[in-house]
Structure formats: structure tokens, C-alpha cells
Amino acid sequence: MNCTKTGLTSIAAVVALLLAVTCVYAEYTYISESDILTASLVNQDPDPAIAGNMVELRIGIENWGSKPAEGYFIELVLDYPFEPISGQKYILSTDRLEGFQTVEDQKIIKFKVMTDREIPEGSYDIDVLLYKEGQREYAAIKKTLSVDVKTRENAEVIYIGQVKLVPGQQTPMEFTINNVGRAPLKDLIFSWENEDDVVLPVGSADTKYIKYLGVGEKTTVSYDVIADTNADPGLYKLTLSLVYDDPVTGVQKEVTNNAGVYVGGGTDFEIAYSESTGSETSFSIANIGSNPASSVSIMIPEQDGWRVSGSNSAIIGNLNKGDYTVASFSLQQEASAPQGTSPPARSREDYAKMTDEERAALREQMQQTSSAKTIKVDVAYTDTLGDRYVLTKDVTMGLDANITRAASGMRGNFAGGGFGQNGRNGSITTALKQIGYYILGAALAVGLIIGLLKYRRYRIMQMSKKYETPKKNETKSKISLRGDK
């Protein structure tokens, strides 16, 4: 009987064990052949979020099951301190996720939300729901994510008033500081620095003090700055610092930002008449500014009184600061001078009635008309920012300019006798010049003769001194000899 009971017990145990194994296998089979979705916060931008600003949440969706997951939706449940942004969707499809699509292969879904501007600094929870269509209320997978938020700075530098500096040129620069907090600020300290020392303040330190700044108010601090004349053109970083005491906590805070200023820009040129040889007239062009210039070209624009034969432009190329070059043109001066620049023609009787002072003034006026002619010259170049500029310069032509007139003008009339006695006066002037030359030659000859006579007299006196006083014994000898005779 006992054996029978024992056998029945053994059989029951075996059956129970088989049933348990079957159940375990069935459970394992159910898990491995299903879809298992999870959600996590991969990152946020910015991190941490700024109170009152937008933040982008990047949520990763993973499928840990072997079965592909299709037809799922992800919903971001917004609650304080997070607020929706107009135009953004907060229920999105996850699309198809393959089995075991996890970690590096996870699907990233992005949501953008606003944070309340009044919240204190800290971490805040936000819920995510995963569900199939029509199953949100009873089969949704809920995941709670944590978002880091910090309070907005009470003050910020929101504007820099100058972004381009010309080397060696003093330039005003302004910084605008705004109180964006909920309480007034006192005793603010603003400073800036360029670590390369290319840009420096002039006449003051780089630190400014602000005594009081009310809520929503802004103030401007000004500097005179200058960029190093030897600085290479380019963008330079300014590190901005604003130190103040937090009105709530009393802890000193420092806000640092970076701003960029460009050193470079335009330049200036000087153009001067150089020389004229034959039909060619040359001009010297110098870069007198603080920046290099590229693609420089010189042009003679159309203008009254001048005419260019052939090309009216010359390509020079690049000119560094301090460099110069020469450009030549086939230039002719036309006959008619601009109105009001030439002296009026006068009759023979008018010229005869003029005083010596009036005649001298007339000659000076005619000389100025001849020598002070100006011509407009354009110089085009590209600055270091890539902008193209054209400068117009007035160039004074010299007396020795070998420029051909197209026809005889008033000066020809004057030289040909338009003033009546001009031919005779010209002859008299020439004769006087010749007499002057003769007098000068005669004076030089007389001077030379006098110099030779003085030199000859000097030599004779030197020779005379040598034999002027004979020795005493020689004198006595001569006397005794005379006595013997």
C-alpha cells in the first residue's frame, strides 16, 4: 500500500514538473516573440534649459523585443513648467521599429517646448506615452523623463555697437547691457578683453562701473578703441564679462560672452602726375591707407578739357599699404579751357595802358592757367572685406607735361601779338637776358684775373723774403774786397 502511495506521489511530482517547464517555456516564448518599447531622454538643447526660453528634447525609442513594432505613437504630455509652442505637434508616429532595434540604432524623435520664465533652477519631470492607436487609455506605456532647467541671467550684454575697425584709426565702440531679471541690479562691473591685444581701449581702462540698473532697463557703456596698425585683416574675438550680485541670493554672478570684431576694411590712395614723354603721360599711385587693396585699377573718366587716345584704364593688381606703382596713358589736352580759367583776350591798346603791376598779374594768371590744370582720375579697388570701391581724385598736371593741344588757344594768340607790343616786349626781354649773361661773364673774367694777379704777387713776395737779409760775414768779405781794389 505504501509503495502504491509512493508511486502515485512520484508520478504526480513528475507531472507537476513537466507542467512547470511547459509554463516557463511558454512565458519565454511570449516575451521573445513580442515587441517591447521603451523611451528615454537622449539629450536636450540647450542643456540645461533656460527659464523662459525654448528647449528641444531628443527622445530615443528602443524595441527590445524580437518582433517588429508598427503602428505606435509617442505623446509628450505637457504640464507645468513646460508649455506648448504654436505650430509644434506633440503626438508623433514612431514608424516601424525592427526587432532588437536598440542603443545605437534607436529612433530619435524631437519635441520643442517652452519653459516658464518664473520657475526656479532645478530638474523637472515630463511624461512620455507610447501606445497603439485606440489603446491610449488602457495600454499606454508611460515613461517619466527629467529635464534640467536654470534660471535666466538677470543681466546680459545684448548689443555691440561697432563690428569693423580700421587699423590705426581711433573708433568709438559701444556695449549695451540689459536687465532681464525680476529685480533691480546694483554695482555692476563690465569689462572686455582681446587676448591678442590687437584691439585696445584708448584713454581709459577696459572696465566700466554701473551703479544701478532697473528691471527691464538697459544702459550703454562707451569706449574709444584702436586696432594695431600691423594687425592682419580678419575677425578677432572679444571676451565680454559682466559681474553683479544676484538680488535674490546675494551671491556674486559673472556672465561671460564672446563677440567678434573685424579688423580691416577700406584704404585710401594718393595719385600724382609723374612725367610726360612723347605721347605718354604717367601717374604715380600710392596706397596711403592702413589696409592692403586688391584688384586695383586706374581709369581716366570722360571730362571736359582732356581726351585719351586708346584705353582709358590700366589694371595694376594688388597694392599693400605703403606701396606705389605707375600707370601711363596717351593723354591729350583739348584746346578750349573750361570757362573762367583763361584770362580774357586784350587789344593792343588795352595792354599798352596797363601798369607794370597789372601786366605782372596778367602774366601770373596765364602761368597758373597753364600749370595748374587738373584732371580727374578714378581708382577702383577691393577691400579686405571683399567690397568694391571707386575713389575719384583731382590730379594737378605739372609745367613739364608734354601734352598736345588739338588747336591753338588764347596763349597762342597772346604769343603771336594779340597784345600788340608783345613781340617787341619779348625781344626787349630777350636782349636784357643776353646783356645779363654778358655782364655775368665779364664779372667772372675780371674776378679770375684779379685772383691770378694776387697769386702772382704772393709768390714774388715769398721769393723776396728768401734773399732779403744776407749773412754778416758775407757782407764784410764783400767790403774788404772792395777796399783792396
Q: What is the pLDDT of residue 251?
A: 78
Contact call for residues 202 and 224 (beta carbons, < 8 A) = yes
Strand partners, 92: 74
Q: What is the pLDDT of residue 442?
A: 79
139: CB partners within 8 A, 6+ apart? 131, 132
b/e code 191-227 from CB counts within 10 Å (16+ = b):
ebebeeebbebeeeeeebebeebeeeeebebebebbb
Average the pLDDT over 431-453 and give the result: 73
Strand partners, 189: 209, 243
Please write the tens of the pLDDT for every residue from 463-478: 666 655 554 444 444 4
More confident residue, 112 or 31: 112
Average the pLDDT over 377-389 and give the result: 91
CA 75 – CA 116 distance, rounded (Å): 20
Instruction: Look over the chain and give the mean of its residue pLDDT values, rounded to a whole number.
Output: 77
Average the pLDDT over 76-95 and give the result: 92
Average the pLDDT over 303-319 and give the result: 89
C-alpha cell at 182: 525680476
Strands (E), 292-425: 293-299, 306-309, 313-319, 324-333, 374-382, 388-396
Residue 397: pLDDT band (50, 70, 90) is: confident
Average the pLDDT over 154-169 and give the result: 77
227: CB partners within 8 A, 6+ apart? 165, 166, 167, 168, 169, 171, 198, 199, 263
371 pLDDT exceeds 50? no
CA 422 – CA 432 distance, rounded (Å): 15
CA 377 – CA 211 distance, rounded (Å): 55
479 pLDDT exceeds 90? no
Q: What is the pLDDT of residue 475?
A: 44
C-alpha cell at 266: 577700406
Average the pLDDT over 349-365 and give the result: 73
Least confident window among 176-190, 237-251, 338-352: 338-352
CA 418 – CA 275 distance, rounded (Å): 31
Q: What is the pLDDT of residue 150?
A: 82
Alpha-helix residue ranges (DSSP H) falling in 134-215: 136-139
Q: What is the pLDDT of residue 358?
A: 79
323 pLDDT exceeds 60? yes
Q: What is the pLDDT of residue 125?
A: 95
Q: What is the pLDDT of residue 91?
A: 93
Average the pLDDT over 126-146 and give the result: 90
**Of residues 165, 169, 173, 163, the one with CA closest to residue 224:** 173
Fold of 37-150: Immunoglobulin-like (2.60.40)
Q: What is the pLDDT of residue 163?
A: 77
Residue 158: pLDDT band (50, 70, 90) is: low
Average the pLDDT over 258-272 and give the result: 89
More confident residue, 88 or 278: 88
Strand partners, 115: 82
Residue 23: pLDDT band (50, 70, 90) is: very low
C-alpha cell at 328: 601711363
Q: What is the pLDDT of residue 89?
A: 92
* Cell 541671467 belongs to residue: 153
43 pLDDT exceeds 90? yes
Average the pLDDT over 426-452 and give the result: 67
Average the pLDDT over 72-79 and give the result: 92
474: CB partners within 8 A, 6+ apart? none
Please write the tens of the pLDDT for every residue from 190-229: 999 988 888 999 888 889 999 988 888 889 999 999 998 8
Answer whether 37-150 and 155-263 agree in fold: yes
C-alpha cell at 279: 605721347
CA 475 – CA 483 distance, rounded (Å): 13
365 pLDDT exceeds 70? no
CA 220 – CA 159 distance, rounded (Å): 9
Tell me the Cα Rg of the chain.
51
DSSP state of 34: S
Q: What is the pLDDT of residue 25?
A: 33
414 pLDDT exceeds 50? no
Angle at 325 between CA 319 and CA 327, to 5 degrees: 120
Q: What is the pLDDT of residue 483?
A: 43
Least confident window among 34-48, 52-66, 295-309, 440-454: 440-454
Percent of the chain residues past pLDDT 70, beyond the cut = 72
b/e code 274-313 from CB counts within 10 Å (16+ = b):
bebeeeebebebbbebbbbbeebbbbbeeeeebbbeeebe
Structurally, at CATH architecture level, domain 155-263 sits in: Sandwich (2.60)
Residue 453: pLDDT band (50, 70, 90) is: confident
Q: Where are the domains of the chain?
A: 1-28, 37-150, 155-263, 292-420
Alpha-helix residue ranges (DSSP H) falling in 248-355: 348-353
